[in-house]
Amino acid sequence: MIGDGLSDDGEADARLGRLCARLAERAGPLTTDPQLSAASGHVLDLVRSGRNAAAELDHLEDLLLRAGYIGGLGSSRTDGGPVFAMLPGAHAGGRPVLEALVCPADRCPRVELPQGTGEDPPECAVWGRALRRDRIT
């Protein structure tokens, strides 16, 4: 585990993963609202530098909730099931997905389906690196 001062219970990593996914939403409030954008940038700076970001994640979540972004960084926006169960098309046509794009730092539950071979994977907004291809076994 990378020493970021969050917590060992996994919830902080999960919230960080949801932050990463929401930053990928180009039209979402984290990219369009200056106050939310600044708050999320501060969280990212702290995480990347290895400092404690738990309080700033709480603050960002409060700002999101006040802005009407229901669920904030909580898990209420997911079905709570296994990460791969949340992937659209994970078992499309009766064939299992063989690869998924995952967090490059193995820190959060963000998972996406690859769009195609030869295409560059999307960038992780937290670590500034491309999502890593991982085989699903």
pLDDT tens per residue, range 13-37: 888 888 888 888 777 788 888 999 9
95 C-beta neighbours (distance < 10 Å), count: 9
- Cα dist from 97 to 25, 74, 105, whole Å: 23, 27, 22
pLDDT score for 111: 83
How confident is the model at residue 15, as a pLDDT? 84
Strand order in the sheet with 132-135: 111-112, 99-102, 132-135
Give φ, ψ of 79 to 5 degrees: -85, 0
Q: Is residue 101 part of a domain?
A: no
In a domain, 46, yes or no: yes
Confidence of residue 40 (pLDDT cuts 50, 70, 90): very high
Q: If pLDDT is split at 50, 70 and 90, which confidence band does 76 have? A: very low
In this structure, the number of other CB atoms found within 10 A of the CB of residue 7 comes to 13
Cα–Cα distance measured from residue 87 to residue 98, given in angstroms and rounded to the nearest whole number:
12
Residue 61 falls inside a structural domain: yes
SS (H, E, C) 75-87: HHHCCCCCHHHHC
| Within a domain: 62 | yes
Q: Provide the whole-model pTM.
A: 0.56
Domain of residue 29 covers 11-76
Let me know if residue 119 belongs to a domain: no
Length of the chain: 137
Residue 92 located in a structural domain: no
- Structural domain count of the chain: 1
The answer to whether 22 and 110 have CB atoms below 8 angstroms apart is no
132 part of a folded domain: no
Residue 83 inside a domain? The answer is no
Q: How far is CA 87 from CA 107, 110, 116, in A?
A: 18, 10, 16
